[in-house]
Amino acid sequence: MRPYEYKAQYYETDQMGVIHHSNYIRWMESARIDYLEQLGISYSQMEQEGVVSPVVEISGRYRSMVHFGDTVEIQVQIEKYNGVKLTISYEITDKATGELRFTGTSSHCFIDREGKIISMKRAFPRIHELLSRTNA
C-alpha cells in the first residue's frame, strides 16, 4: 500500500510556527479514508449503504515537529479487526528526511444509522473479507 502524502499548510501552524497538534487527527482521518479506498472500500459508499464507523478511541505520540511547507508521508496499517471493531495504526514521517514525526492509533466500531452495532461478516461480507485479509 502506498503511503498517504500531505503538504503542511500555513493555516495549520500555531504561534511557535509548527503544526498545531489538533491537525494530526485530521491527517489520520484523511490517510485512513485513502487507505480504505486503496483496499477497495469506499467510505461514502459504506455510509450510503447504512454503515457508520465512528471513532471510539484515539491516541498519538508526537515525536518531532512538522513545520509549514513540510511534506509528510502517513503509513497506515490495520492492527486489529474482529468484524465489529477496527484498530488502525499511523506512522507519520518527513518525506525528505524520513524522520519520524508522529505515531498514533484510532479504534472504530461499525454501527447502523440507529446506533446498533453491525457484524460486518454477516451484513457486509465483501468489506469484511477485505479488512480480514489485511489484519496484522
Per residue in 24-52, pLDDT tens? 999 999 999 999 999 999 999 999 999 99
pLDDT over 70 (residue 135): no
DSSP class of 116: -
Q: To the nearest 10°, the Cα dihedral for 127, 85, 82, 22?
A: 90
**Cα R_g (the chain), whole angstroms:** 16
Given 14, 34, 70, 94, the catalytic residue? 14
pTM equals 0.93
Name the average pLDDT for the chain: 95
Element (H, E) at 48: helix 43-48
Backbone angles phi, psi at 123, to 5 degrees: -85, -35
- Is 14 a known active-site residue? yes
Share of the chain above pLDDT 70, in %: 99
Element (H, E) at 107: strand 100-109
